[in-house]
Structure 1
Amino acid sequence: MARWFGRSKSRSYDKAGSAAESDHLEPLGVSDDLRLAYGRTGDPKLLRGSLQAAELAVEVYPVDDVRHAAALSSLCTLHRLSWERDHSAADLVKAIDYGRQAVDKSPPGDTELPRHMSSLATALQEAYDRTEDEEAIDEAITLYRGCLALMPAGSGARQGEQRVGQESNLANSLLRKGRVSGDSDVLNEAAEHAHAALRDTPDDHPMHAVRLVDLGGVLLGLVQNGHPEHLDGAQDMYARGLRELPAGHPARAGAQQTLAMITGLREQSGN
């Protein structure tokens, strides 16, 4: 899924000269830099430092400053990363709370609102994976749909890539809901968004292989829900994804197991 792991645009990088460089000394800028360093190294000290800087940013920036909402959104992301690292339920609760505050306090015209909505939605999806709380996945789906509504197609390369990420995120949330509910309409909508995400991801993009596997997962969900006509497509997506996934990629083992399961389904059905 798209994680919005880059720098916040609220850091005002459009400033020139020393004014732009001073962003690195502001708490939100410090938090962003430490978070990015944590993403590269996995050092928990960097994650803790990023959290402390984001907490300071919430205090420093006034409520009507876009950086206040950006700092709250950063805390949402950082506590979700802490949850993924240590699996402390308290971190996931904090992530959702900060994410809701970020969305609520985002001022009118804030171009970062889709980012805040996506951060909250990702935390809610994590909560659903842990608790299977239907309200959490429904809220995540609503937020991802809202992101897409705020991100019109054809609005530039960076914005286009972010939109593709939200298509993929929405597809994955709908798949989670559809697998449990057995609702073919939900699974078909998931397939539409997964197709769109794959269609708009260049073949040489680092996420292309993952998008293949994601679409395969949605098609397999339809097969398991009584639509065997999608079995060929599911097998093809997983096989192509495995050919593209580099050795050691965390998705490889699961994709291999699923492809073996599909082969077993074919043998059972005689196809």
Structure 2
Amino acid sequence: MPRWFGRSRSRSGDTSGTSAESEILEPLGVSDDLRLAYGRTGDLKLLRGALQAAELGVEVYPVDDARHASALSSLCMLHRLSWERDRGSADLIKAVDYGRRAVDKSPPNDRELPRHMSSLATALQEVYDSTEDEESIDEAIALYRGCLDLMPAGRGKQGEERVGQESNLANSLLRKGRSSGDGDILNEAAEHARAALRDTPDDHPMHPVRLVNLGGVLLGLVQTGHPEHLGAAEDMYTRALREFPADHPVRPGVEESLITIKGLREQFGI
């Protein structure tokens, strides 16, 4: 699942002061820190605190301040995290609403705009997973494409974030391609998944995830009538199993995919 767990760059745009106290009291910064802590611990109190701080940010930052859009985007992300935890439909509705508002209120040349677009796209992808609403996945795909258009290729943090958007786009295209059986869409998904894997170092914690993502796209191609990708799909999943820790929650799904591949080998006589 695509996520932004990094610290918001818009915190650096705070001109109200540079002391440690002003940083602590800055609502967006507090929300960011609580969200990151929630990501590490899963403590519901931290998630609720992050929501409250982001809500305060929407109130105190002027509409023409980039931090106003960032606070809205944080609410999009936080309500999506709440949805992932409790599956409350109201949270997913709020996530999409705040995401749209964040993109709409983002000022010209806002360097955080790709993040806002990504947060909205991820919420829309969740809508599709829950409802199979085609418009939601189409909009998510368009938003991820827009992120890539806005993010320059390069190294360092920017380059890493662009790779993440390549992977996000591949996953959305996989969803649409599987539901429609459209090989062209799945081939495009494979292109982006390969690009994301290519640009992810072997020792990066996301490397096994990127292997699984490409394996999933290739398996989707096999299941839509292209058995020539079966060996490559199996290789991706096998490599991912070697890289994931023994207690990683993704492992059972990867093992199940390998069982599926074994059955397909018997079916195709490969």
TM-score, normalised via structure 2 length: 0.97
1:163-215 per-position Cα deviation (integer Å, ceiling 9, x unaligned): 00000000000000000001111000000000000000000000101111110
Offset at residue 270 of structure 1 (A): 2.3
Offset at residue 65 of structure 1 (A): 0.3
1:117-155 per-position Cα deviation (integer Å, ceiling 9, x unaligned): 00000000011000000000000000000000001112x
Q: Is the 8 Å Cα contact of residues 72 and 98 (structure 1) preserved in structure 2? A: yes
Local SS of the residue matching 1:108: coil
Q: How many percent identity over aligned positions?
A: 79
1:20-52 per-position Cα deviation (integer Å, ceiling 9, x unaligned): 652221111111111111111111111111101
1:135 is matched with 135
2:176 is matched with 177
Please state if 1:162 is matched with 2:161.
Answer: yes
Q: Is the 8 Å Cα contact of residues 227 and 268 (structure 2) preserved in structure 1? A: no
Instruction: Give the AA of the match of 2:232.
Output: G
Taking the TM superposition and a 5 Å limit, the aligned residue runs for 1:106-121 are 106-121=106-121
1:223 is matched with 222
2:81 is matched with 81
Please state if 1:211 is matched with 2:203.
Answer: no
Distance of 2:159 and 2:75 partners within structure 1 = 25
Instruction: Give the AA of the match of 2:158.
Output: Q
1:264 is matched with 263
Distance of 2:96 and 2:18 partners within structure 1 = 36
Instruction: Give the AA of the match of 1:148.
Output: L
2:145 is matched with 145
Offset at residue 107 of structure 1 (A): 0.0
Quote the RMSD (CA, aligned, Å). 1.5
Please state if 1:27 is matched with 2:32.
Answer: no
Distance of 1:50 and 1:176 partners within structure 2 = 31
1:200 is matched with 199
Greater CA drift, 245-254 or 63-72: 245-254
Distance of 1:261 and 1:207 partners within structure 2 = 24
Structure 1 alignment gaps of length 5 or more: none
Offset at residue 268 of structure 1 (A): 2.8
Q: Is the 8 Å Cα contact of residues 168 and 197 (structure 1) preserved in structure 2? A: yes
Q: Is the 8 Å Cα contact of residues 92 and 123 (structure 2) preserved in structure 1? A: yes
Local SS of the residue matching 2:19: helix
Distance of 2:13 and 2:139 partners within structure 1 = 32
Local SS of the residue matching 2:171: helix
CA 1:109–1:19 in 2, change beyond 3 Å: closer, same or farther?
Answer: farther
Aligned length: 270
1:212-231 per-position Cα deviation (integer Å, ceiling 9, x unaligned): 11101000100111111111
Q: Is the 8 Å Cα contact of residues 31 and 50 (structure 2) preserved in structure 1? A: yes
Offset at residue 19 of structure 1 (A): 3.1
Q: Is the 8 Å Cα contact of residues 12 and 23 (structure 1) preserved in structure 2? A: no
Structure 2 alignment gaps of length 5 or more: none
TM-score, normalised via structure 1 length: 0.96
CA 1:114–1:160 in 2, change beyond 3 Å: closer, same or farther?
Answer: same
1:72-122 per-position Cα deviation (integer Å, ceiling 9, x unaligned): 000000000000111000000000000000000000010000000000000
CA 1:40–1:260 in 2, change beyond 3 Å: closer, same or farther?
Answer: same
Distance of 2:41 and 2:210 partners within structure 1 = 25
Q: Is the 8 Å Cα contact of residues 76 and 98 (structure 1) preserved in structure 2? A: yes
